[in-house]
Amino acid sequence: MSETATAFGIKEALDALGITELNEGTSTGTQKFGNGEVLASTSPVDDALIAKVRTTSPQDYERVMETATEAYTSWRSMPAPQRGEIVRQFGNRLRELKEPLGKLVSYEMGKSYQEGLGEVQEMIDICDFAVGLSRQLHGLTMHSERPGHRMYEQYHPLGIVGIISAFNFPVAVWAWNTALAWVCGDVCVWKPSEKTPLCGIACQNIIAGVLQENDLPEGISCLINGDYKVGEMMTKDERVPLVSATGSIRMGKIVAQAVAARLGKSLLELGGNNAIIVTPDADIKMTVIGAVFGAVGTAGQRCTSTRRLIIHESVYETVKNALVEAYKQLKIGNPLDESNHVGPLIDTNAVALYKEALERVVAEGGTLVVEGGVLSGEGYESGCYVRPAMAEAQNHFEIVQHETFAPVLYLIKYTGPVSNAIALQNGVKQGLSSAIMTNNLREAEQFLSATGSDCGIANVNIGTSGAEIGGAFGGEKETGGGRESGSDAWKIYMRRQTNTINYTTELPLAQGIKFDL
């Protein structure tokens, strides 16, 4: 264990989460040792080895699927409120382990400790939501055109739900899916990112304890570890009717094609290229706070991170200068130290993409307002720490049209009415999150109208990041069209069935057809 890990209590956190004796590698959904390759989890905070994990082999995968299939036969028959009680217990266990799990998230992924705690709180919140939902899995009753008939629809569990999550939210996105899927009667098989495998093991340990205490099958929650080859086993598996995948657009297209080829369902949460529009009627102080957090929070590694700031020419210089001053105040360093604002990128590959983006925006004609750069020296030995950068650019630049998963913010000037800004906002292939800063009611309503933002999330006077679990989360276009978390997102985890009951002694046929025998 490194000096950093020792100083900030990482070993104690791992012990609390049941992650011990992992140097030989462990695997998966049944908590037995696997037979795949050894995967090393290295912290971007200090480049230290945390532990080694044994990945899932094809034989391990089959054992996991058999365990999940068997568990489904009993889990689906349990009344939904009873399933909700299990989720309630899981949420309470998360409350008890919030600090160690938040600390592990921070150390293995690199986000600030406060953000790590916030991510665990999202898990707790979705559990609370799911518990209430367990008593509200409602259908509809419709009037039949045939006398003496009752027609209604109801929802039933799908079966095994496959979950593929990304490194940037290594625990919350899994919980968004699995808490809802569980109360719907599904069982889950989860492949966490190979960059954050210990977070997956920690969560599996927590729910495994709850299931054991309630004498329930361990296959209700299963874990598989490894790279894309492990994910492919699940996306091509006809025993998995729904695959929920979070990650890059490139990955999402591969998953969608594989699942569609077997006529399965996919729930995709992919890339974002999110913008904040700043109109002449914007509150500048609120704008700066929202833009800075949106651009540098999680070191720019949120799918909802602010990538573009579309600013009216009349306030452009004012906003730019305020942002430059704000960036001077940012503290970059160990994310477990709560005095720091920005932690590391996930790995040196992410650093290379960050550097490439800065080079390309200049090559395309942009100007660096805050130059950024890779940090080195004491405290930055991992090579993953960078300075948040800011560039003046044009919306049509190729680099601006793509998502760079790093703290790079593009300033784009617009002229004329807010409709011009909205056109720029919509002028990318991604459609996840968007925001407008204005005190003008007409501008706000236009932004939220059918001719306004084309994103799945559209905010007024708040930034692009920071979604609440009560609302459905997701986006349009190349973001994938999926919806997770709140509202009626639960319906994708179930199959819809229309039922008609004839309580008469006659059998009238549809469309008035006569078929007398």
Count CA atoms within 13 Å of residue 81 on its CB side: 3
- The distance of Cα 417 from the centroid of its chain, to the nearest Å, equals 34
Question: What is the residue type of 184?
Answer: C
Q: Compute CA distances 157 → 73, 207, 209, 380, 492, whole Å.
A: 11, 20, 24, 48, 10
- Can 468 be counted among the known catalytic residues? no
Answer yes or no: are the C-beta atoms of 190 and 165 closer than 8 Å.
yes
Catalytic residue among 115, 218, 269, 403: 269
**Distance from C-alpha of 345 to C-alpha of 275, rounded to nearest angstrom:** 21
- Can 269 be counted among the known catalytic residues? yes
In the beta sheet, which residues pair with residue 149? 502
**Distance from C-alpha of 171 to C-alpha of 201, rounded to nearest angstrom:** 10
3-state secondary structure 97-146: CHHHHHHHHHHHHCCCHHHHHHHHHHHHHHHHHHHHHCCCCCCEEECCCC
The DSSP symbol for 342 reads B
Residue with tokens 């309580």: 503
Answer yes or no: are the C-beta atoms of 71 and 187 closer than 8 Å.
yes
Catalytic residue among 127, 184, 222, 303: 303
Residues carrying an active site annotation? 269, 303
